[in-house]
Structure 1
Amino acid sequence: MAVTTESRLSPPPASAPMTRGRDAFLQVAAIVLLFQAAFWAFLLFRWATFSRFNWTPYPAELVLAQASPLIAYGLYGLLLAGALAGAAGLLRGAGWGRAVGLVYAAATLVGGLIYYALFREFYGLLLLTAVGGFLCFLLTRNAAWSLAYPAAFWLLVFFIVPLAIVFFVSLGERTRLGTVTYPPFSLSNLGALFDDYARVFSRVGGDFIYLRIFGRSAWLALLNTALCLLFGFPLAYWIARQPAHRRNLWIFLVMIPFWTNFLVRTYAWMLILRDSGLINSAWTGSFHDAATVIATQLPAFGWLAEATARPLPLLYTPGAVLLGLFYGYLPFMVLPLYSNLEKTNWTLLEAAADLGANARQRFLRVLLPLSLPGIIAGSIIVFIPSLGAYVTPDLMGGAKVSLLGNLLQQQFMTVRDWPFGSALSFIMMAVMLAATLVYFRATAEAERRQEGR
């Protein structure tokens, strides 16, 4: 088709003007304000229908009930109106909506602190400060903190704050009734605050009993980590070398124990190892009968018949505790190792073999450095919970094998010496942190030496 000169010279049609999209932070803030408005509306509905529905009153409502009913209506109504006004302004894109939202967020934070000071009610403080802080970051368009706020708030409330409380309790002293008192704070009396920490390293009846428990716990944790690595690495390597369509099946079999409660699995091992369990029933039953027949024909084997007449001391021993820890934490070693080995470039091993490296050299110089991140991750995941294990030593060790977890449970639940138990907890965390840092540093230096070669 011919194109005319007029059509060629005519200017192109004007494009539609670009419009600015809605601010995602302000939209999320509006949604948060709407949820907050729904909460205040619910409280207002409760207040208006107490006599009809017989609601269970909150602590704040009990206090408001002693004053004029108009005060509660005015307070809930003002908070509801502020949340709705801020949400409406943000949804419409009005400039005043952000200002109203910031004022509401600040008032929520201050109100949460006042609420806790008056009523000592934790859940109300948690709700108000969570909403107020989240709104502040959203309305100021702080992208990093807006995304990290839910996780950071969770860690603050359920990790940092409890940790600070435990440390504060560790500075106190136990009274005869099991309560906690705190010595007067002064620079000259500062050492009295850490008496429970010094008690861990002191003699009890002429023996360093607490240091012995620490040493026993650390030794079993290290031994369990080494055993899990010794058995887990070949298993993870074998699974990683399987065809792709079979790997998921083997990983599924490794994860099957997680489907059963850890306590149930521990009881199952107790049934196997006890005096009337599966192993001892065979030892004192059919095996003893066979040993007796052999001893009648060959008197030199009389010791075997005598040994099989008594059950083996399998349960309530350090070996039983180690077996339970090994069984419980082996999958935690296999999974990180498999995740690391699955991504290994196996042609590197073939290239090393072509260059004359034997199997030992290929393992030490190629495979082991490549799998080091998985070894580090698996060792840390196994060592830390093994050091503080409680269920396995308590059930499979009985009163004969006491580890750190049992000592902590005894101090908090039996002796009710909370300051000493808190001090033990902090020392245990310090040991774990130090071991982890030393391990990371050693492996980092090993990696640098490998790269230098």
Structure 2
Amino acid sequence: MESWSRNRLVFWVLNLPGTVWLTAFFLVPLGIIWVLSFGEKTSIVDIAITWTLDNYARALQPIYLEIVWKSVWISAVATLVCLVVAYPVSFLISFAPGRWKALLLLAVILPFWINMLIRTYALIAVFRRRGFVNFGLEWLWEKANAGLVLLGLGQYHLIGQDFEPLPLLYNNFAVIAGLVYVYMPFMVLPLYATVERLDKSYLEASLDLGASQTRTFFSVTVPMTMPGVVSGIILVFIPCLGTFLTPDLLGGTNAQMIGNVIERQFKSANDWPFGAALSFLLMYATFGALALRALFAGRQRGMEV
């Protein structure tokens, strides 16, 4: 039977709706923002396209580069935490009995059923000074005091001092925890898909040949699951880098990221050209990283061949 890809009519009928959608709602708006990045504000609401590079030069000032660097390392830490947590979780789901797999996957994607704004506000109730975490720590503090008194060791503790709540909110820790909470499913799902396709006989063969569990993990498991690891890192790191809601609600003024700066340029500052330049600098850096990853992946495949 003739391949459908050789039939031009079938090809265009199937691809036209998606092409029109991407062009109208992705490429055209992106092109408008790109053109705006070369403009200047002439009044509160008017913008003149002068094809100037002043916005990009302003975006490269040290104050903005410092915020970009802070956004990069916060996103990198959040991505690393997601990877460390999601890796064993993906194996747990993959090796779970069949009747449990669906429930475990449902637990992973269940947060998607709730608006991200509501989930972020829920974290405020968890991390605030009189939140659930500090309430739990205060309860443990009181129980520890009571236990020391019962054991006659009260002299080794400052009995009578009140518990001092930990500052868990409006700092970098809160932002990283919020990003991990929001984007964890984007790391678990590609890792699970890779682990599920993993040929378990390779693991058994490595162990049968005398390799330890640690050697098998680093020499067999990690290389074979690397496509899922790379996909998960990309799916988590890039959204973290451009996010503005989580640092705005959980970080306050102490943990602003580049996404917050861009958001303010488009809203409160009403400086769309500068906001567009910041957005595209971030996009250029992201595309550059993806291009390097594709280049290294291509070289690696060439070496394997």
**Is TM more than 0.5 here?**
yes
Aligned residue runs from structure 1 range 21-420, under 5 A: 142-183=9-50, 193-202=52-61, 208-284=62-138, 287-288=141-142, 291=145, 298-302=154-158, 306=161, 308-420=162-274
Deviations 1:418-448 (A, max 9, x none): 0000001101111111122223333444555
- SS of equivalent residue, structure 2 residue 253: coil
Note the residue ranges of structure 1 that are not aligned, 5 or more in a row: 1-139, 186-192, 203-207
Partners of 1:176 and 1:253 in 2: CA distance: 51
Note closer, same or farther for the CA distance 1:324–1:161 as it changes in structure 2 (3 Å cut).
same
Partners of 2:179 and 2:160 in 1: CA distance: 32
Deviations 1:335-381 (A, max 9, x none): 11111111111111111222222222212222112111111111111
Note closer, same or farther for the CA distance 1:297–1:406 as it changes in structure 2 (3 Å cut).
same
- SS of equivalent residue, structure 1 residue 181: strand
Q: Which residue of 1 aligns with 2:4?
A: none
Equivalent AA in structure 2 for residue 198 of structure 1: A
Note closer, same or farther for the CA distance 1:338–1:305 as it changes in structure 2 (3 Å cut).
farther
- SS of equivalent residue, structure 1 residue 254: helix
Equivalent AA in structure 1 for residue 34 of structure 2: F
Partners of 2:36 and 2:275 in 1: CA distance: 9
CA contact (8 A) 2:191 2:225 kept: yes
Q: Over aligned residue pairs, what C-alpha RMSD do you find?
A: 2.4
- SS of equivalent residue, structure 1 residue 406: helix
Note closer, same or farther for the CA distance 1:283–1:174 as it changes in structure 2 (3 Å cut).
same
Partners of 1:448 and 1:347 in 2: CA distance: 26
Aligned residues: 297
Equivalent AA in structure 1 for residue 281 of structure 2: I
Deviations 1:43-92 (A, max 9, x none): xxxxxxxxxxxxxxxxxxxxxxxxxxxxxxxxxxxxxxxxxxxxxxxxxx
Calculate percent identity across the aligned residue pairs. Answer: 37
Note closer, same or farther for the CA distance 1:292–1:171 as it changes in structure 2 (3 Å cut).
farther
- SS of equivalent residue, structure 1 residue 337: helix
CA contact (8 A) 2:191 2:232 kept: yes
Q: What is the Cα deviation at residue 283 of structure 1?
A: 3.8
CA contact (8 A) 1:292 1:305 kept: no
Q: What is the Cα deviation at residue 290 of structure 1?
A: 5.0
Partners of 1:448 and 1:316 in 2: CA distance: 48
- Higher RCO (CA 8 Å, separation ≥ 6 residues): 2
Note closer, same or farther for the CA distance 1:346–1:399 as it changes in structure 2 (3 Å cut).
same
Note closer, same or farther for the CA distance 1:309–1:250 as it changes in structure 2 (3 Å cut).
closer
Partners of 2:237 and 2:170 in 1: CA distance: 22
Partners of 2:108 and 2:233 in 1: CA distance: 17
Equivalent AA in structure 1 for residue 114 of structure 2: T
Q: What is the Cα deviation at residue 161 of structure 1?
A: 0.8
Q: Is the radius of gyration larger for structure 1 or structure 2?
A: 1
TM-score (norm 1): 0.61
Equivalent AA in structure 1 for residue 200 of structure 2: W
Equivalent AA in structure 1 for residue 54 of structure 2: D
Partners of 1:386 and 1:244 in 2: CA distance: 33
Note closer, same or farther for the CA distance 1:141–1:247 as it changes in structure 2 (3 Å cut).
closer
Partners of 1:292 and 1:210 in 2: CA distance: 51
CA contact (8 A) 1:288 1:305 kept: no
Note closer, same or farther for the CA distance 1:171–1:241 as it changes in structure 2 (3 Å cut).
same
Note closer, same or farther for the CA distance 1:309–1:368 as it changes in structure 2 (3 Å cut).
closer
CA contact (8 A) 2:35 2:49 kept: no
Note closer, same or farther for the CA distance 1:376–1:305 as it changes in structure 2 (3 Å cut).
farther
- SS of equivalent residue, structure 1 residue 173: strand
Partners of 1:334 and 1:289 in 2: CA distance: 37
Partners of 1:292 and 1:282 in 2: CA distance: 15
Q: What is the Cα deviation at residue 236 of structure 1?
A: 0.3
Equivalent AA in structure 1 for residue 41 of structure 2: R
